[in-house]
Structure 1
Amino acid sequence: MPTERARPLRADARHNRDRLLDAAAEAFAGEGADASLKGIAKAAGVGIGTLYRRFPTREDLIEATYRNQTAKLCAAAHDLLETSAAAQALRAWMDLFVDYMATKHGMAEALHAVLVRDGELRMRTRDLLTDALATLLAAGVADGTIRSDVEPDVVLMSLGGTTLIAGTPEQSDLTAGLLDLLIDGLTPRATPASIPPAS
């Protein structure tokens, strides 16, 4: 992967790169991996030459978009905890995860080739997402709003299953309901009061 990670970027080049990756994520989520590169460049406000200088091939752009979306999603865990209570932060992060998976599904076939070639990237991504969830769950355990007996990887699998069942925009109400149900399942239950024996 050539130019993309060769050297630190100037501020203007970094800004162009970020806009390209955001535009690519939106295009791939809505149109799939065959989304127009010219359209992506136009949406980012740059010329097609700028796109090709940063990402010489479509595969380069897809991999960079995937890495960027993963990094943003993981960073959001800390950002959300700075402004929201743990349970609310976790629920908001789940919505971001659904958007992230929509981008991933949009470029699924091309991304599969990348991940098959780079198994380390696949494992690293899973580790990063699990760590982000662990941060959110630990905050909820600490303030008493999240159960302490649920592992982050189990929650990650539940989220992945939800997006497979109901991850499209037209299923947004169903998706929200399933995520609310998941949050409810993560909420601690009060211990039932003991019932005195019959006299």
Structure 2
Amino acid sequence: MVNSVAMEGDGCTICSEAEAELREISRKLNCSQEQVQGSSQCDHEPRLPLSAPVLLQHYPLYRASDANCSGEDAAPPEERSVPFEEKYDVLSREASQKLLWWLRPRLILSGHTHSACEVLHPGGAPEVSVPSFSWRNRNNPSFIMGSLTSRDYALSKCYLPCEDTVLTTYCAAAAFLLVLILAHFERLPSSFLFGWKLCRSHLRR
């Protein structure tokens, strides 16, 4: 898991510490690869499992826009071609290249944009941007369930009910309940009362 805010690249304290930690992780990953075994820098370094890491962070890696994203939970068509701003909507090009070079992840999971997107980065690293899990940000929120092993992964997307569907159901249920209450106290117009009594008599038979 990477703190995206620490990838600003402005030399701040948390940025410097994060980059130092990432370089150390990169060195350990490299030492675990067969081609560098026997190097003097890796002689006493414990070997990590030979499995490429999964990168989890809030901000997506750099991409120009959501123009190539599709699916029912992608950004609306009118928003997909809006250019992203580096360090605000997505990480900068430089920070993205550093993460890809240092970690060489087999999968990248990100969020922030409130819309889903799948991107294939240079080197073949796939990135899945997870949409917002809140009705405040979109009508059809969703979340992703994943299964990870040392060699493979599987992702499955699960959707919440659409907000307008839930609200419509609540309103219909409330209206039906109100009709039942008014019918019970005979407060409905005569035509409705006649139909209500007819239904009740039919159900009692």
TM-score (norm 1): 0.28
Which fold has the larger relative contact order, with Cα–Cα distance below 8 Å and residues 6 or more apart in sequence? 1
- Structure in which a larger fraction of residues adopt helix: 1
Structure of higher CA gyration radius: 2
TM-score (norm 2): 0.28
More strand by share: 2
